[in-house]
């Protein structure tokens, strides 16, 4: 999930979904918004509190997220500058196949379900074309970006890194995560926003998926397909020309295939694990 969240266009929530831990993840996160569970903590009943919030599961997941984000942030930033076509092509393959798997998760698809997908596509396209031309480099905006990005990171099909890119903050956050020069002026408000955002949003998400799971998932699939315009390898020709490698069409096709293959492999591992 950490590796997926570093990559713009790939959702950590999708990885959680296809590896079979999504429901448990949402239940764990939403438990932190429970007053009853926090009463256990403040009364000193730490052992029971830890069990109620599924602390061991969350700790393992959190360590995996942090380690992969810190180790991959610099690599992804470098790849996007030096080999933008191949990097975006790899992401493109990942997100398209992720969307396909999300569709396959919906049982008994009907033609009327297409309406929800089309709504999602329209929202995704609108989201892309409403990208601000300039975003403020201030603490409050980093806080807002963290709050929104972390919410999308737990939604299947919606990439938190992709949202940061739409907001114009992706490069700033990735550079701030450089272990040789951590930028706390960016990371601290972003992290606080992330904590506030995920706790506030998890309860709503848990309710939404329990009441309207089908429509929600179909809209998310459509949203993914609509926003894929931003992940198209040749969308930013200035970056392509600056890298100086040409259009690299054959290489891009191979990179797309590798991205698609990675999702398929993860899905097969998940199926084997479940069986």
239-271: pLDDT as tens digits: 899 999 999 999 999 999 998 998 888 778 877
Is the pLDDT reported for residue 273 higher than 80?
A: no
Q: Domain residues for 114?
A: 2-274
DSSP state of 245: S
Beta strands in the chain (DSSP E): none
Is the pLDDT reported for residue 55 higher than 80?
A: yes
What is the average pLDDT value for the chain, to the nearest integer? 83
What's the rounded Cα separation, in Å, for the pair 151 and 147?
A: 7
Of the ranges 54-58, 102-106, 190-194, which one carries the lowest mean pLDDT score?
102-106
Determine which helix (DSSP H) or strand (DSSP E) holds 121, and give its type and residue range: helix 113-129
Of the ranges 5-9, 111-115, 129-133, which one carries the lowest mean pLDDT score?
129-133
Of the ranges 171-180, 181-190, 241-250, which one carries the lowest mean pLDDT score?
171-180
Contact, 236 vs 69, CB < 8 A? no
Domain count, the chain: 1
Top-confidence residue, 135 or 35: 35
Predicted structure pTM score? 0.68
What are phi and psi for residue 100, nearest 5 degrees?
Answer: -60, -45
207-241 tens-digit pLDDT: 887 888 788 878 877 887 887 887 889 988 888 99
Q: Which pLDDT band holds residue 189 (cuts at 50, 70, 90)? A: very high
Is the pLDDT reported for residue 116 higher than 80?
A: yes
Picking from 239, 99, 220, the residue whose alpha carbon sits closest to that of residue 171 is: 239
């Amino acid at each position: 999930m950490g590796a997926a969240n570093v990559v713009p266009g790939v959702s950590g929530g999708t990885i959680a979904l296809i590896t079979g831990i999504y429901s448990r993840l949402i239940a764990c996160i939403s438990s932190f918004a429970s007053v009853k569970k926090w009463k256990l903590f403040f009364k000193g009943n730490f052992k029971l509190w830890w069990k109620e919030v599924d602390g061991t599961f969350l700790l393992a997941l959190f360590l995996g997220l942090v380690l992969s984000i810190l180790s991959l942030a610099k690599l992804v930033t470098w790849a996007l500058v030096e080999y933008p076509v191949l990097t975006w092509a790899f992401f493109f393959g990942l997100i398209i196949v992720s969307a396909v798997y999300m569709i396959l998760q919906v049982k008994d698809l009907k033609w009327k379900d297409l309406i929800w997908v089309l709504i999602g596509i329209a929202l995704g396209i609108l989201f892309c074309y409403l990208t601000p031309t300039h975003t403020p480099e201030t603490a409050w905006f980093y806080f807002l970006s963290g709050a929104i990005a972390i919410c999308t990171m737990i939604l299947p099909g919606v990439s938190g890194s992709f949202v940061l890119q739409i907001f114009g903050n992706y490069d700033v956050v990735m550079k701030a995560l450089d272990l040789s020069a951590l930028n706390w002026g960016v990371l601290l408000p972003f992290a606080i926003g992330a904590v506030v955002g995920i706790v506030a949003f998890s309860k709503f998400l848990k309710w939404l998926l329990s009441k309207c799971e089908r429509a929600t998932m179909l809209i998310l699939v459509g949203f993914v397909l609509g926003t894929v315009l931003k992940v198209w390898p040749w969308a930013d020709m200035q970056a392509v020309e600056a890298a100086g490698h040409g259009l690299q069409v054959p290489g891009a096709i191979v990179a797309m295939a590798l991205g698609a293959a990675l999702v398929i492999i993860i899905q097969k591992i998940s199926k084997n694990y479940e069986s």
